[in-house]
Amino acid sequence: MSGVITASEPFWIAPITGLSPRQFGRLLTVLRREGVDPVRKGRPWSLPLEDRVLLVAAYWRTNLTLRQLAPLFGVSKSAADRIVDHLGPALALQQCKRFRKSTVLIVDGTLVPTRDHAVAEKSKNYRYSTNHQVIIAADTRLVVAVGCPLPGNRSDFRVWECPVRKTPSARRR
């Protein structure tokens, strides 16, 4: 299909992924080594692994919805959703167990609007929200960890000091 974004044209790689074509190639090698693209029974993927990784990167790095992104890659919205669900966990960063002593971590809270009133409360923005603590590494600006959601009317300090963070289903028992 002409007029679609594809990794076979290297000029798409850098603006969408933030990686050079060489780094992108190394990422693909690592993914193949981990067994992300095995030969399996059933219907094959409509896009090669290179284009699927590019689609996931575009989804994460832009503010486009899957409905907007799918035609750019020549697939349906449902196929784009399956691709993001399948490759997303493989592309996610592995959590670091320890940090160097010189590492600076930044902690901040953010309100995430949600429709689930079981875990949300009306917050200062008058919406039902949950409060999440986000920890990022100052030097790389990458997210290191995200805390469990607590009702949105809790202050950041109260969420941070909460020693045992139970899931909503565990609280109801």
Segment 35-64, tens digit of pLDDT: 888 877 778 888 999 999 999 988 988 878
Q: Counting Cβ atoms within 10 Å, is residue 127 exposed (0-12), middle (13-18) or buried (19+)?
A: middle
Of 3-7, 22-26, 115-119, the poorest mean pLDDT is in 115-119
On average, the pLDDT of the chain sits at 79
Q: In this model, does residue 34 exceed pLDDT 50?
A: yes
Q: In this model, does residue 167 exceed pLDDT 50?
A: no
Report pLDDT digits (tens) over 61-95: 887 899 999 999 999 999 999 999 989 888 876 66
Instruction: Select from 77, 36, 34, 35 the least CA-distant residue to 55.
Output: 77
Q: Over range 133-141, report the average pLDDT.
A: 80
Global pTM? 0.60
Q: What is the DSSP letter of 39?
A: -
Share of the chain above pLDDT 90, in %: 18
CATH topology of domain 10-91: Cyclin A; domain 1 (1.10.472)
Instruction: Select from 37, 51, 48 the least CA-distant residue to 4.
Output: 51
What pLDDT was estimated at residue 159?
Answer: 59
Do the Cβ atoms of 83 and 55 come closer than 8 Å? yes
Q: Over range 107-133, report the average pLDDT.
A: 74
Do the Cβ atoms of 110 and 132 come closer than 8 Å? yes
Q: Counting Cβ atoms within 10 Å, is residue 148 exposed (0-12), middle (13-18) or buried (19+)?
A: middle
Strand partners, 132: 110
CA distance 74 to 165: 43
CA distance 20 to 27: 11
- Domain parsing of the chain, residue ranges: 10-91, 105-172
Instruction: Select from 92, 172, 105 the least CA-distant residue to 137.
Output: 105
- Phi and psi at 149, nearest 5°, equal -75, 140
Count CA atoms closer than 13 A to 50's CA, side-chain side: 14
What pLDDT was estimated at residue 133?
Answer: 78
